[in-house]
Chains A and B, each alone.
Chain A
């Protein structure tokens, strides 16, 4: 059939099974929005800022495992979206971003709202396209969805000039993607898998090191089976939280800069690192030359460029974690779980020595208590997003995660302002779960306008603002490493968060005691509307343990020992 480029965009989104588009209209993308108005194949959620549209699409993608879709206009619409696109790139989130562009005749003339969008998005997308002819649109969009969701997932950006969306061409979507130059390798080398299993059988102190790739590959079930069969202890990265349930005896905890003592010591003492879907990020490894110094390294990853990038790999396997772990499960016959008994005991001694804990030694609530309490009250029934900073680390340390895709956070880019819009996307993808966003008094203001989106579309996100009147993580570094010169981190001047939420039509609570918190959370869950729960917490609490930047994992600053919890 003969249709316009704009109609093609809508047809493709429907054909790809997209049920939700997050976006913000503007001049160059108006033809597409006109078609969105006329259709009922998917819902469009109008965010109040383009960055939020992309974060919402990320939240949707992370919670559902499907491709998130964001739509924006040219120029400032696009540049506003860049932070979100970069965030998705760093955390390998499958996403298609469609942007409008000035008409072909104006490209290169510094036209109104013109910017070289694909020039800007090139280093922060998996791939991008400028579509110069509507004839190419079906192919380009099909490739975009294919590239975004296969191999190592990532954002794909499609920039479409306004006249191309008006151009009428023959539309046909019944064809296969034919990308000669893009064929991700998913099946691990079988001989290498056997070698890896032999190495595990011979190891005395092996350690699973799980990363976000396990979640992306939907491999948690296989990984849990392998862990339980071999009884090898596990550390998780920030992005892998929820792969194992919090109460699994073999899960030590998160490792890295704010990992637990036991997790970091296990990584320092292991003789065989079994890395699955990881990338040896500097926040995980600390000083590279001291990282797992006496260990051989197994590394399974879909991205060949991740292997031996930072740490030499003795047993590389390029492949999809799910497929590779499934074949690892077929070769466990030489592995005797009893061999690792001493090792498991060593680790539990580490944990007894310095467990993840905090002291209730303040008149104010402790932020860690709040997170634990939400875990006790909501547990598995909630999906958790965070912003970036101290609250994020506490949430990763203290929330009792029970399943993959329960936890959505900005890991690689560390984007303040991620949490609220992401939580909106998460709620849209998983309406049956309570959507909780742990945030700080700094982060929440970076996308606070999304109150309007959540109110308008009745998306009941509960934002728990851990308010310490500080840009807490930077304050912590200033306290520890800059002789307490708290440069520009004191956020004593603040809005009234309760009134702020109410001004948009949400509800708000300010709580100072445990009883008040319990009551507020219960009320917010029952009312099922967008809420701010502002919790006044201890101002000078530090995230512990802490590996100082560039230090060795085993050299941690630890929580001071006290009698109380």
Chain B
């Protein structure tokens, strides 16, 4: 009768919240207070509205994900919670390379992952890619041989289909 399956699954949850002071800490407090896991979190205002949209990548069993959804919905400033498996999901990464690396190779790789070189300086170049999170993982694994100096990932954003 009880189910406490430990089959942890990665899920993307979108939360529409009233754009007001301390709303973000209400969300993150809920996760830390109840022992839920945040893999990534992005937040930005929705244009022409009083709402913001959060995209939270989390992991948990079916029961945990259901609780997360319900607990999020219980927060007063939360308007809507979407928890779909069918979402278009994208993430951005910026990577800094020494100018001495093979720029042509890097540029070609970037293009394969919806990206390009976005800045060239005296000593470094900065590359940007935008793709599904697991593809970004692949990209970052591939470019290791070009001695990346710094890597920044944005966290996922997602829209239900």
Contact = CB atoms under 8 A, between A and B. Distances in A.
Interface in B20-70: 21-22, 25-26, 29, 33, 63, 66-67, 70
Contacts, number: 54
B71 A312 contact: no
Interface string A295-332: 10100000111001111100000000000000000000
B67 A181 contact: no
A288 B63 contact: no
Q: How large is the interface on A (under 10, 10 to 19, 20 to 34, 35 or more residues)?
A: 20 to 34
Given A122-B25, A304-B70, A305-B67, A312 B2 contact: yes
A305 B70 contact: yes
Given A130-B22, A289-B2, A305 B76 contact: no
B157 to A, nearest CB: 22
A118 B67 contact: no
B78 interface: yes
A180 interface: yes
Given A122-B25, A305-B71, A181 B18 contact: yes
A118 B79 contact: no
Contact of B4 (A132, A288, A295, A303): A288
A304 B73 contact: yes
Nearest to B71: A305
A180 B1 contact: no
A512 interface: no
B3 interface: yes
A147 B76 contact: yes
B1 A291 contact: yes
Given A122-B26, A305-B71, A311 B76 contact: no
A312 B71 CA distance: 17
A42 to B, nearest CB: 26
Given A303-B74, A305-B71, A311 B21 contact: no
A179 B76 contact: yes
B1 A312 contact: yes
A293 B66 contact: no
Nearest to A307: B70
Interface in A88-147: 118-119, 122-123, 126-127, 130, 132, 147
Given A123-B33, A312-B1, 12 more contacts: A119-B25, A122-B25, A180-B18, A289-B1, A289-B2, A292-B1, A295-B1, A305-B67, A308-B66, A309-B67, A311-B2, A312-B3
Interface of B: 1-4, 17-18, 21-22, 25-26, 29, 33, 63, 66-67, 70-71, 73-74, 76-79
